[in-house]
Amino acid sequence: MNTLRGKCRGTSLLVLGLSLILSSACSEEVRLTVEPSSLSFEATEGDYSEPAPKLLTGQLLNLGEDQRVFLSLVHTNNGLQRVEAPLTNPSPIKVYPKQPTRGGDTHQDVVVIAACEDADCKHHFPGSPATIPVTYSIKGRLRIDNGIPHDRTFHQVVGDVPPPAVPIELQGFERSWKAETNQKWLKLSASSGQTPATLMLSVEPNTLPEGTHLADVFISDAETLQTWPVHVRLTKSLPYLQVAGEELRFADKVDGVHPRRQLFVTMPVATASPWTATIDHGDGPRWLKLSAMAGTTQPNPTAPLEAFVDETDLPPGEYRATVTFTATVEGQTLTQVRQAELRHHLNQLRVNRYGVALMRTPSRSRLSESIPILEGSGSKTTTWTASANQDWLSVTPRGTTGSNLTLTANPAGLAPDIVHVATVTVRSLETVNEHTLQVGFWVGASDAVNPVTVPSVFRAVEVDPIRPYAYVHDGATLFVHNLYTGARVATLDGLGTASGGLGLGGMAVSSDGSVLYVVDGDARQVVPIRLSTLTPGTRWGLDTGTSQNLTYVRPSGVGLLIAGDGHIYDADTGARLPTSSPFAARDTLSASLNPYTFCTLGACTQDSCGPSRCYFLGFFSHDDLSVIPHEELSADATAVAVNPSGTRIYVASGPPYEFQVLNRGPEGPLPSLHAGAPPNGLVIDVDERVYGSAYTRTGPADVWIYDRDGAALGTLRLGNSTAGIRDGQLKVSGDGRRLVALTEDSLKIVSTP
């Protein structure tokens, strides 16, 4: 409440707004007048500033000398920002509106001016309080794309349906608009209307040639005539004929035949187009066939086109062919060419297992093993012979491809508690083709210690495929432990090149048990260790990358190391081998005894994991390797294992926590196998029993065991309340009798069911 003292000076002429007010003599009573009696404002939505203020004039008439007046000025603020008035008589009162809001809004406010005889304003002078209504109207404004019009683009492939229409959003309160284009191929869903509205743009490109075409849409406000352009670009291109699928490279046979290669003839257009194929063999025999020589393109075909080898009267040799696919779309001829290669050799043997572990203790034994001798290439049955260099091992002396080589150990007269090793040689009688197998035989004087616990913090463990040995390191020193007694057999120091740092990393063992490969992470080198003498050999370097994992495969009897750096190396020399297609570096690697399949798991960060998949490995020679992706794994995969024949892939994943089973062979499908906690390890033994581990410090089990048909065989608890099983550190012995795991505080060895 403000006060104002006045003094009567007789009659005076006062200007109030546009009105003339004549004051009376001092004898008249005091009166409050405010002019004008109302105010109104107008603005348009989207204006960056509020409208200019407007003026009210308030005056106290007949104010006597030394007469005290108590003044009050209040207002509502629906659309008003503030009201300002000086303590003068008369008083210019400025009324300020707010910045405009939405179009169509009308704000109603009042300005109330009071003149009173007392501070509590119980006694008003005549004319008080004066209430002045204020109206604030906001008109709509035409807006396009929320005020920032942006370009529209269309892409159409010749022969395909026109691209879908795209919208232009027109906003604003009840604004009338008009729209037009400057090209006939650009169509509008409407030429006029009232906001809010969605104007759809579509194109009719069939009569246009290939290339880029430009147009504009002009949208105007029907009242203000303000116009906005929207630029439109249409790109019309030829389709491309794509022949996706596997490489047409045929070398080793699987079960006596060259595997068929699957192709998919596609074109990224909805309209189907006919295609034809031709095969050019040059002057050579017509060895390559397709399951169809003509067809119709589809954007996403499901039925593959198969390429296969016709061996009828085909002599041994190396052959090439060119396959040309042709399609015609609106008079345009499209082609795609695929090259095919065949290496058709004389009959050769194929052996999938090069190492065998046998054992005998007082209560348990594994004295015999049968290994299929398969057809490596050629179409005829091949006769083979086998012999062993130790009398305690008997072998099937003769057979034909498709039959088994049976190995049987006789413990009579053999010294106990040592590993006996024999070499078995398998030869073809028709070609110069020979395979060498290593057989280890443990004769224990007493039963296995169960369980074995070796307290220490280890990083990685690997097992020998023919000896009952576990190779384990702590990042600096490699230790060798007997799986049946738990005794430390040997200690190897000095394998790493630096103290601290990365230290020793991943390990892999050759399938015949001859060499252990250890990664020196600091030097980015592989250290080969000859296991018959436990002596390190010549180091060789890895390529770039941070993954330290290795896995060993042996296609066509040639040892290869697949490394986590995304490359394949000769296991004997360390030479990096060229591949027909690279695979990305991975944190986890797993391969089958069948050397044609290996799998990788993507490296994980805190937010996500890289892709995980399995590959076919085609081995032509050291200069010619083929790596073909064939199975995408689930994004949450944490471990993977392939059965010995390569026909089933087991994938640990979750939640839900389980071991998925992917079938690729004649066996029937299996449901997922249960895991009671987040799984982190998978391993399969020679009898195709599946062992899956999980990291958990609670619960009754952290290992689940299943047979090859998915039946549960039992569970184990290897970790404890303070130490769980480390990721990927679950292994099984070559004879399938002992299970090995690294926990966070020890090496654990137990007997299998």
Instruction: Of 396-405, 575-584, 602-611, give the range with the top mean pLDDT.
Output: 396-405
Residue 294 sits in the same domain as residue 228: no
Residue 570 buriedness (CB in 10 A; 0-12 / 13-18 / 19+): middle
**Residue 350's pLDDT is what?**
79
Higher pLDDT, 546 or 245: 245
Q: Which range marks the domain in which residue 397 is found?
A: 348-443
By mean pLDDT, which of 324-328, 335-339, 667-671 is the weakest? 667-671
Last residue of a domain, one of 294, 329, 344: 344
Residue 174 sits in the same domain as residue 253: no
Which positions ≥6 away from 20 have C-beta within 8 Å? 13, 14
Residue 56 sits in the same domain as residue 114: yes
Higher pLDDT, 175 or 535: 535
Residue 400 sits in the same domain as residue 416: yes
SS3 label, residue 146 = helix
Query: Is 597 among the domain residues?
Result: no
**Residue 17's pLDDT is what?**
28
Percent of the chain with pLDDT over 90: 55
SS3 label, residue 310 = coil
What are the backbone angles phi and psi of residue 146, rounded to the nearest 5°?
60, 30
514's tokens: 């001859």
Structural domains of the chain, count: 5
Residue 156 sits in the same domain as residue 209: yes
Query: Is 492 among the domain residues?
Result: no
Q: Using omega within 30 degrees of 0 as the cis cutoff, is the peptide bond preceding 455 cis? A: no
State the CB neighbour count (10 A cutoff) for residue 113: 24
Residue 249 sits in the same domain as residue 262: yes
Question: Contact at 8 Å (CB) between 753 and 705?
Answer: yes
End-to-end CA distance of the chain: 96
Q: How confident is the model at residue 356 (pLDDT cuts 50, 70, 90)?
A: very high
Question: Contact at 8 Å (CB) between 626 and 258?
Answer: no
**Residue 16's pLDDT is what?**
29
Q: Which residue, among 585, 578, 584, 617, has the nearest Cα to 598 in the 3D structure?
A: 617
Q: Which residue, among 711, 592, 713, 602, has the nearest Cα to 650 in the 3D structure?
A: 592
Average pLDDT over residues 674-698: 94
The torsion angle over the Cα atoms of residues 519, 523, 528 and 529, rounded to 10 degrees, is: -90
| DSSP secondary structure letter of residue 52 | P
**Residue 596's pLDDT is what?**
72
| Inter-CA distances, 413 with 446, 466, 496, 563, 711, Å | 16, 20, 42, 43, 39
Average pLDDT over residues 228-242: 90
Which domain CATH number covers 81? Answer: 2.60.40.60
* 352 HSE (CA, 13 A, CB side): 24
Which domain CATH number covers 359? Answer: 2.60.40.3170
Average pLDDT over residues 349-369: 93
Residue 97 sits in the same domain as residue 177: no
Strands (E), 27-175: 31-35, 39-44, 54-61, 67-75, 80-84, 91-97, 106-116, 130-139, 143-144, 152-157, 166-171
Instruction: Of 58-72, 87-101, 409-423, give the range with the top mean pLDDT.
Output: 409-423
**Residue 545's pLDDT is what?**
58
**157-179 confidence digits (pLDDT tens):** 887 788 999 999 998 888 899 99
Residue 310 sits in the same domain as residue 385: no
What DSSP string describes 352-397?
S--EEEEEE-SS-EE-EEEEEEEEEESSS--EEEEEESSTTEEE--
Q: Using omega within 30 degrees of 0 as the cis cutoff, is the peptide bond preceding 655 cis? A: yes
Whether 377 has a pLDDT exceeding 60, the answer reads no
> What is the spatial distance between Cα 226 and Cα 175, in angstroms, rounded to a whole number?
12
Higher pLDDT, 427 or 624: 427
Residue 97 sits in the same domain as residue 40: yes
Last residue of a domain, one of 443, 472, 491: 443
Query: Is 539 among the domain residues?
Result: no
**Residue 566's pLDDT is what?**
80
Q: Using omega within 30 degrees of 0 as the cis cutoff, is the peptide bond preceding 285 cis? A: no
> What is the spatial distance between Cα 510 and Cα 560, in angstroms, rounded to a whole number?
9
Average pLDDT over residues 449-462: 95
> What is the spatial distance between Cα 683 and Cα 313, in angstroms, rounded to a whole number?
44
Higher pLDDT, 26 or 495: 495
Mean pLDDT computed over every residue of the chain: 86
Query: Is 491 among the domain residues?
Result: no
Question: Contact at 8 Å (CB) between 160 and 131?
Answer: no
Last residue of a domain, one of 443, 458, 476: 443
SS3 label, residue 147 = helix
Strand 679-684 with 452-455, pairing? unpaired
Query: Is 398 among the domain residues?
Result: yes
Whether 687 has a pLDDT exceeding 80, the answer reads yes
| DSSP secondary structure letter of residue 607 | S
**581-622 confidence digits (pLDDT tens):** 566 655 567 776 666 788 888 766 666 666 788 887 877 666
Q: What is the CA radius of gyration of the chain?
A: 44
Tokens 């009042």, residue?
Answer: 110
Question: Contact at 8 Å (CB) between 341 and 319?
Answer: yes
Q: How confident is the model at residue 12 (pLDDT cuts 50, 70, 90)?
A: very low
Q: How confident is the model at residue 386 (pLDDT cuts 50, 70, 90)?
A: very high
Residue 437 sits in the same domain as residue 308: no
What DSSP string describes 635-703?
TT--EEEE-TTSSEEEEEETTTTEEEEEE-SSSPP-PPEE-SS-EEEEEE-TT--EEEEE--SSSS-SE
Average pLDDT over residues 261-277: 86
Query: Is 463 among the domain residues?
Result: no
Average pLDDT over residues 695-714: 94
Residue 419 sits in the same domain as residue 356: yes
Residue 658 sits in the same domain as residue 753: yes
**Residue 345's pLDDT is what?**
65
Question: Contact at 8 Å (CB) between 412 and 361?
Answer: no
Percent of the chain with pLDDT over 70: 89
Which domain CATH number covers 274? Answer: 2.60.40.10
Higher pLDDT, 158 or 372: 372
What are the backbone angles phi and psi of residue 419, rounded to the nearest 5°?
-95, 125
| DSSP secondary structure letter of residue 196 | S
Strands (E), 521-612: 525-530, 535-536, 540-541, 550-553, 560-563, 568-570, 576-577, 588-591, 597-601
**Residue 571's pLDDT is what?**
93
> What is the spatial distance between Cα 459 and Cα 476, in angstroms, rounded to a whole number?
10
> What is the spatial distance between Cα 472 and Cα 455, in angstroms, rounded to a whole number?
12
**Residue 112's pLDDT is what?**
96
Query: Is 471 among the domain residues?
Result: no
Query: Is 412 among the domain residues?
Result: yes
Higher pLDDT, 583 or 675: 675
Whether 376 has a pLDDT exceeding 60, the answer reads yes
Q: Which residue, among 660, 636, 658, 662, has the nearest Cα to 649 in the 3D structure?
A: 662
